């Protein structure tokens, strides 16, 4: 057989011949090992005759078929089966896990001196039903092959089942039922079929055929499995109870006892089993053709019914998983929408905060300007104007955040353009007198980085405009903002009179220069100064760690 995908349900449903059983077992054992249960020996026990007699399947290290065995009353296999409880123990210094299944147990032995953990137990618990289903399917295939060897001519119905049993899988129970009914009617020389499923003490119609041969729901048909009056007990209910192995009648004239309904011709009903559990019945008849149903037809019909039971149960579990997945996806979408709404609300609130902060800063600027206009002392007047300029640089940041699409960061290169333009106007720089050379890369900066860097630019440009060019106000001012790998470099220089040779920023007499030194330190940057005692002044600030386009 071809290499299967890592799906235990596929392994079971795709087992077509007994010869493929070892490869399927090996693949399932590999899944068990991959999931955390390193088995050295693995066996399956299917109990058909009480808690001490079972069919023992050798699965690992080499699948060798099965044999009937008798177990001691206190065996771990019997205890796990009778109590439906997982058992973890040691046998001759080898770790042992025994996991109950609907029909028996799966037993695993590890290597000597090792142990199994909770992961191994979980892996075995997950795959044990699939090992059992594989053994049951193998057993059915073996019986099928025995029937073939006993007959000189293979029955066409058996051949149809043998060739197509793997195709009973479906995403829904209805899809499986449709395939079962189609197979019964097209290849088993029967006219109609119906699937009835146990629902507690009731046997409910699930799917059947209408008068034009379409598969439809037949939920209106219900039988009591344990009716208070035995006269109301049907053969279908007796089969669902386990009292009858099957029912077959050649009621071609409709005068016999009713099984499923009235005049239906020859009919047969067989149980749908998963292990020892009867989950429903499969009923067939020859309503249209009035042909008798041969006893030989029951063998493939019973095998088909068991395979249909497993396929319908798998489809039911798959539907439950799909419903759970859809429910989870719905909840995720709802939660995502809630988070998106909360984020939108947060953005609105943040935008309002920036707006109010900008307005408050503008109010502070207005108050400082009003106050400075009332002061005669030139030094105090200049100090208030400088303070207003600093507040203005901060207000511009909040205005940019409020007006822009990004509420958490700004393009600082664009911010420099705006800030320098305002400073030139504030200090009355005549057009063309001081030539500005501005080269700024795109730099996305967050608020906590943009404000101190904006204050630095404000102080250094202000210092140049106020002191570098004297009364003539003629010269050049160069500003460059450059990204270098993960670092940011800011250079501001002029060709003015230069700084005093012995000037120390840390002890500078002006607040502005002290502020620059403090802000560079806050940003964990490095400040270099050129031009002390000579023509022109240059400031080079290197800020490591500001990645391009992201901010700090």
Other CB atoms within 10 Å distance of the CB of residue 475: 18
What's residue 292's pLDDT? 84
Ramachandran quadrant class, 473 (left: phi over 0; alpha: psi -120 to 50; beta: rest):
left
Helix axes 378-403, 511-522, angle to 10 degrees: 30
Same domain, 531 and 434: yes
* Total number of domains constituting the chain: 3
Enter the tokens of residue 63: 């699948």
Pick from 273, 308, 343: which residue ends a domain? 308
- Round to whole Å and give the CA distance between 415 and 400: 8
Series of mean pLDDT values for 10-residue runs along the chain (552 residues): 64 85 90 91 84 85 83 85 90 90 91 89 91 89 68 50 63 86 83 92 90 86 90 89 89 48 74 92 89 83 89 88 91 88 71 69 77 80 77 73 66 84 83 88 82 84 82 85 86 83 61 80 87 75 70 43
Do the domain assignments include residue 322? no
Same domain, 174 and 271: yes
Do the domain assignments include residue 538? yes
Contacts of 296 (CB under 8 A, 6+ apart): 155
Strands 526-530, 94-100: pairing is unpaired
- Asked if residues 197 and 204 have their Cβ atoms less than 8 Å apart, the reply is yes
| Coil/strand/helix, residue 330 | helix
What's residue 332's pLDDT? 93
Same domain, 97 and 216: no
Same domain, 159 and 140: no
Same domain, 425 and 528: yes
Same domain, 117 and 234: no
> Does an H or E element contain 273, and which?
strand 267-274
Nearest Cα residue to 470 out of 417, 424, 510, 434:
434
What's residue 501's pLDDT? 67
Same domain, 470 and 540: yes
Same domain, 301 and 435: no
Q: Which CATH number is 234's domain given?
A: 3.30.450.40
What's residue 514's pLDDT? 81
Same domain, 129 and 163: no
- Round to whole Å and give the CA distance between 199 and 204: 7
Same domain, 132 and 57: yes
Nearest Cα residue to 141 out of 66, 242, 219:
66
- Round to whole Å and give the CA distance between 222 and 234: 11
Nearest Cα residue to 481 out of 446, 454, 505, 499:
454
For residue 457, give its domain range.
409-552
Do the domain assignments include residue 33? yes
Do the domain assignments include residue 471? yes
DSSP of 432-482: TTEEEEEEE---EEEHHHHHHHHHHHHHHHHHIIIIISGGGT-EEEEEEEE
Same domain, 161 and 298: yes
Do the domain assignments include residue 372? no
- Round to whole Å and give the CA distance between 520 and 547: 17
Contacts of 199 (CB under 8 A, 6+ apart): none
Residues in the chain: 552
Do the domain assignments include residue 226? yes
Do the domain assignments include residue 122? yes
Q: Which CATH number is 530's domain given?
A: 3.30.565.10
Contacts of 540 (CB under 8 A, 6+ apart): 489, 490, 491, 527, 528, 529, 530
Enter the tokens of residue 304: 């088909």
Same domain, 57 and 120: yes
DSSP of 96-157: EEEEE-SSEEEEEE--TT----HHHHHHHHHHHHHHHHHHHHHHHHHHHHHHHHHSSS--HH
Enter the tokens of residue 175: 């899809």
């Amino acid at each position: 057989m071809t290499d299967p995908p890592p799906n235990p349900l596929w392994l079971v449903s795709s087992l077509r011949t007994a010869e493929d059983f070892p490869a399927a077992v090996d693949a399932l054992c590999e899944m068990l090992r991959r999931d955390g249960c390193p088995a050295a020996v693995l066996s399956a026990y299917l109990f058909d005759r009480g808690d001490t007699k079972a069919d023992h399947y050798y699965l690992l290290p080499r699948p060798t078929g099965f044999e009937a065995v008798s177990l001691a009353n206190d065996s771990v296999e019997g205890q796990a089966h009778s109590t439906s409880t997982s058992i973890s123990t040691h046998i001759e210094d080898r770790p042992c896990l025994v996991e109950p299944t609907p029909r028996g147990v799966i037993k695993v032995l590890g290597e000597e001196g090792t142990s199994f953990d909770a992961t191994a137990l979980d892996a075995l618990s997950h795959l044990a039903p699939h090992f059992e289903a594989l053994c049951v399917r193998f057993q059915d295939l073996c019986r099928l092959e025995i029937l073939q060897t006993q007959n000189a001519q293979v029955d066409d119905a058996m051949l149809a089942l043998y060739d197509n049993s793997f195709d009973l899988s479906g995403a829904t129970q209805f899809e499986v039922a449709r395939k079962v009914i189609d197979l019964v009617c097209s290849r088993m020389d029967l006219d109609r079929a119906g699937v009835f499923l146990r629902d507690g003490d009731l046997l409910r119609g699930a799917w059947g055929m209408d008068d034009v041969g379409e598969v439809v729901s037949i939920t209106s048909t219900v039988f009591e499995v344990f009716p208070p009056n035995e006269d109301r007990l049907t053969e279908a209910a007796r089969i669902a109870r386990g009292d009858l192995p099957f029912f077959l009648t050649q009621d071609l004239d409709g005068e016999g006892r009713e099984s499923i309904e009235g005049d239906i011709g020859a009919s047969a009903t067989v149980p749908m089993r998963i292990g020892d559990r009867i989950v429903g019945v499969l009923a067939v008849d020859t309503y249209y053709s009035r042909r008798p149903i041969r006893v030989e037809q029951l063998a493939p019909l019973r095998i088909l019914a068991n395979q249909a039971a497993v396929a319908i149960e798998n489809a039911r579990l798959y539907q439950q998983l799909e419903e759970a997945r859809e429910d989870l996806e719905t909840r995720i979408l709802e939660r995502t929408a809630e988070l998106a709404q909360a984020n939108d609300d947060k953005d609105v609130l943040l935008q309002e905060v920036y707006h109010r902060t900008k307005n408050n800063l503008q109010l502070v600027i207005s108050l400082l300007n009003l106050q400075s206009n009332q002061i005669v002392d030139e030094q105090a007047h200049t100090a208030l104007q400088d303070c207003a300029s600093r507040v203005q640089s901060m207000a511009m940041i909040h205005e940019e955040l409020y007006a822009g699409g990004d509420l958490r960061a700004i393009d600082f290169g664009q911010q420099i353009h705006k800030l320098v333009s305002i400073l030139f106007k504030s200090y009355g720089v005549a057009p063309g007198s001081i030539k500005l050379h501005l080269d700024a890369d795109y730099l996305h900066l967050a608020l906590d980085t943009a404000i101190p860097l904006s204050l630095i630019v404000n102080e250094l440009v202000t210092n140049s405009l106020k002191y570098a060019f004297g009364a003539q106000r003629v010269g050049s001012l160069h500003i460059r903002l450059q990204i270098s790998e993960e670092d940011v470099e800011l250079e501001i220089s002029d060709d003015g009179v230069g700084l005093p040779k012995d000037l120390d920023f840390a002890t500078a007499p002006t607040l502005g220069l002290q502020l620059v030194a403090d802000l560079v330190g806050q940003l964990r940057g490095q400040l270099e100064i050129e031009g002390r005692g000579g023509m022109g002044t240059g400031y080079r600030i290197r800020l490591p760690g500001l990645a391009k386009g992201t901010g700090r």
